[in-house]
Structure 1
């Protein structure tokens, strides 16, 4: 990361292709490592030493939202499946909360199967929080009962279940100032915002940053993190969210519904962060709002890097990767009260298919948390 990294990056699940490793190379290695436990419904596996050591029998069951092929929301079913068993370097987590994200719908529909193929049956939701329930061999950092959170890879079966497997090295302690379940809705969007701003955008104190889509879940954290970095923050939002974005610390908020909002943006900017599902032609037009040598980073649409070079600026599409150091720093800022979190809706496992349908129809707003134990 740039000036705000606070530590080294976890390289084991890097998705960003700027390192010269194609996603297919990374995924082939990951799938080979995980093939012994990906098929969580295989109850024919012999009893493992891990199960005997931790008191988790192989025939234990759990409830999970599952789909067995790519397709629409109707593919998702709530089933009783075999509880997974942690392998070497892994932990079993009793899931308290798991964030729902648009990427979950893209994965389910098969739109990302070329770069991030899934092994079926598959459990959605790649971010989660919970309690360490069992330890695989070689795990020394965590103890049973530890409260942790993480964001997993796009090929991992995830958190829409009562239990989930994660690598011990990819976990961080949850912020102690918020509800354990709510912490499950933090990692993906907070990490994405951090990496857009600092790791790829190299944001520094006093620079001017434009955040497009500030009222969304990634933009919500991007505005706050920019203020923590003492940048001058210009953000865009729809009219109903302008005041809320000011409340996050933005210096200026532009009405995104106005066709000429870019003319009011007081360019140029050192950094532009696209946290909106804007079309590529829109995103590429914003390259002209950058100062020479400035950077546009996008969490959604690709950027025309050839056009960026012609304009003597930088542009890139960024995939989030996990970083325990960044999650630890995020937790500390939440505990200190300088970084706010937000959960707009809670749902049980039985509502996962409905959430996918609402998202596909463009009728889902805000951050939704899945609570596997059910709602009170």
Structure 2
């Protein structure tokens, strides 16, 4: 299979038969994929719920996060517009970032979308600073990075999560973990990462900020605070900065599971049934 779509990509193995990797075009490189991941947004993409935001041309190959090697052996990661669920992917060279020594290449596939979303929520939109109090609602893959990054910025972090996510929130370094509705002290920033309307907004200090990666701007509550809804931006500078924090041990990559790429259908089914949490790697 060597077709091109809005995300140019090829599988080197398809229906048990070998196929030649695709030829990169101008400005592109061929990546031998070491790992991709499952992202919840891909379930929506599969169901056609995101067609107005992410138009695709069929046939389309899944896989937004990619980690792999180039022909010369360079280890890279990046966010694609699809196509990483393959043995080889053709990617624009300008979306890839070198992986530092000491960072496991497969694990680094868990960084691009979840890590960039957390980075931009914490540093760009919430502008978290030392001494602030921050509420992170959600302890999935994005929330675990957001907790670590807010702590790195010097904030006191409260994580709101379900009972299932409490251990992960503690492990990410949250100063306090609340399950369901519990009274909390006022916060300077509220980072909302779950697919439900935000609660606890009455605890945002006047002049604070509510940052949502899920609830649209027209549904954010109005208060004496700033409300921001954002869609993650593909930014190699942000990704390189995040990788540097992973390399020096400041940020830990949290992997919930490792599955063969042939389990992709099963992983989507488990996610649809609410049985999947955290970041699952898919290995060709």
TM-score, length of structure 2 as denominator length: 0.91
CA contact (8 A) 1:41 1:81 kept: no
Structure 1: which 5+ runs fail to align?
1-35, 43-59, 65-76, 134-143
> In the TM superposition, what are the counterparts of 1:1-376 in structure 2 within 5 Å?
37-38=4-5, 62-63=12-13, 83-133=21-71, 144-152=72-80, 156-213=81-138, 215-256=139-180, 260-261=181-182, 264-267=183-186, 269-278=187-196, 280=197, 283=198, 285-304=199-218, 307-308=221-222, 311-372=223-284
CA contact (8 A) 1:212 1:235 kept: yes
Q: CA deviation at 1:357?
A: 1.0
**CA deviation map 1:330-360 (0-9, x unaligned):** 1111111111012121122221111111111
Q: CA deviation at 1:38?
A: 2.7
Q: Which has the higher strand share?
A: 2
The SS at the match of 2:12 is: strand
| Cα 1:306/1:369, change in 2 over 3 Å | closer
| Cα 1:332/1:312, change in 2 over 3 Å | same
CA contact (8 A) 2:144 2:168 kept: no
Q: Could you tell me how far apart the structure 1 residues matched to 2:7 and 2:54 are?
A: 19
CA contact (8 A) 1:99 1:186 kept: no
The SS at the match of 2:94 is: helix
Q: Could you tell me how far apart the structure 2 residues matched to 1:157 and 1:365 are?
A: 21
| Cα 1:79/1:116, change in 2 over 3 Å | farther
Q: CA deviation at 1:245?
A: 2.1
Q: Aligned-residue CA RMSD in angstroms?
A: 2.4
Matched residues, number = 282
Structure 2: which 5+ runs fail to align?
none
**CA deviation map 1:64-115 (0-9, x unaligned):** 6xxxxxxxxxxxx898666332111111100000011101111011000012
CA contact (8 A) 2:156 2:175 kept: yes
Q: CA deviation at 1:305?
A: 6.5
CA contact (8 A) 1:274 1:296 kept: yes
Q: Counterpart of 1:52? A: none
CA contact (8 A) 2:7 2:82 kept: no
The SS at the match of 1:181 is: helix
CA contact (8 A) 2:8 2:91 kept: no
CA contact (8 A) 2:147 2:159 kept: yes
Q: Counterpart of 1:18? A: none
The SS at the match of 1:320 is: coil
Q: Could you tell me how far apart the structure 2 residues matched to 1:326 and 1:359 are?
A: 28
Q: Which has the higher helix share?
A: 1
Q: CA deviation at 1:39?
A: 7.4
Q: Counterpart of 1:47? A: none
CA contact (8 A) 2:11 2:87 kept: no
Q: Could you tell me how far apart the structure 2 residues matched to 1:253 and 1:61 are?
A: 43
